[in-house]
Structure 1
Amino acid sequence: MQPVTVPPEVPQAGDSGLDRYIGLVLRERRQAQSLTIADVAGLAGVSRGMLSKIENGQVSPSLDTLRRLAAALGMTLAQLFKNLDVPEGGAQHVKAGEGLEVVRRGTRRGHTYHLLAYDQGPRKQVEPFLITMDDASEVFPTFTHPGVEFIYMLEGRIEYRHGRNTYLLEPGDSLTFKGSIPHGPERLIKVPIRFLAVINYGEED
């Protein structure tokens, strides 16, 4: 009986997630370098038809074929698979000026809060605000809330109270404090004033 010779690569249909991932990475890398399928196929020593099927996730290429294709595209196998198991993610992206404007107790004229992220879960974890003040005569109440607040000054000068202490904040300054202690603007020294205020509703300590 004659021994059966198995070819080095047998095309397999199936369009698995792994095959689609490999094909997508190879195609994006090839197009980024303005190379044609014929260019890469020639460099890697595979047929144009085979490369087209690989890019479309229609075959499962051998490890040797992948190594040659990666080398033809100037990448390693490690680079080819580096994003294979990376979660898709789902970050909130708020464009400049599109933060949700909210009103807080005791703040009326010359004072705006723009909420920069919207926590839609059952429990708020964090609230980042961009706060703008442009009326130096406004009188502010004190605030209390759970968690820890972080302030980072962007523009202007303000005297900010936390408990019995006041702090002069200028651009580049930051202030971190427990939200359960009464706090708030004491005196607006130079307007307009802009700062980021991030409230973390986790544990205070």
Structure 2
Amino acid sequence: MDDKVREGNAPSLEDSIGSAIRKLRLRDGLTIAQVAEKADVSRGMLSKIENGHAAAGTDTLARIARALGVSMSMLFSKYDASATEAQHVKKGMGMEVVRRGTKSGHTYHLLAYNQGPVKVFEPFLISMDDDSERYPTFQHPGTEFLYMLEGELEYRCGQQTYLLEPGDSLTFQGEVVHGPERLANFPIRFLSIIIYPRTAD
């Protein structure tokens, strides 16, 4: 089956993206080698992405989209259109993304891709295992919720800092300048869920 849908299950995000890439490539009569060269991706990696065996980061997907002459949103269109009621992301399969200001040693995995034209929320699993870089600060619309899973972290929100330990949570308005202040105990893992404001109809 084209999207490798198991009986009764909708295709995963990786399967849908891979299927879209493969169809766009074949539509233009391009080989994996040609697209891989244009996108600066290895042929093996591109093959794994097409077959849903590897999760690609946004930078890689952007290069693939450019190589295919389409917008990156085209790679998600099949997933948006699928009549899924739930998104199931297996352990370690969240899309790795790079948020502006993040440095090496800080890894963000997007755990769900919003379906539809309006971004409602973004859930990230954030891992930090390197204290050698300057910590980023952020500002964005909406409300952010943090939940500490592992390690200890001092987190700044405006003029205050909070020591977050496993089981602790922190909720704040995204417009307030925020970000890690001190990484106290490695390895550090926490959930960050950003809820965006609804736009008026």
TM-score relative to the length of structure 1: 0.55
Which digits, 9 at most, give the CA deviation of each residue in 1:159-202, with x for residues without a partner?
A: 00000000000000000000001000001011110000000002
- Correspondences of 1:1-205 after superposition (within 5 Å): 90-202=85-197
SS of 2:104's partner is: coil
Q: Measure the CA separation in 1 of the matches of 2:97 and 2:84.
A: 27
Preserved contact between residue 149 and residue 179 of structure 1 (Cα < 8 Å) = yes
In structure 2, stretches of 5+ residues that fail to align are 1-82
RMSD: 1.3
Q: Measure the CA separation in 2 of the matches of 1:111 and 1:89.
A: 31
Q: Measure the CA separation in 2 of the matches of 1:180 and 1:138.
A: 24
Bigger-Rg structure (1/2):
1
Q: Measure the CA separation in 2 of the matches of 1:196 and 1:102.
A: 14
Partner AA of 1:183 in structure 2 = H
TM-score relative to the length of structure 2: 0.56
Partner AA of 1:150 in structure 2 = F
Q: Measure the CA separation in 1 of the matches of 2:136 and 2:189.
A: 18
1:45 alignment partner in structure 2: none
In structure 1, stretches of 5+ residues that fail to align are 1-87
2:48 alignment partner in structure 1: none
Identity %: 69
Which digits, 9 at most, give the CA deviation of each residue in 1:106-144, with x for residues without a partner?
A: 212111000000013111000000000001222112100
Q: Which runs of 4+ in 1 moved over 4 A?
A: none
Preserved contact between residue 98 and residue 108 of structure 2 (Cα < 8 Å) = yes
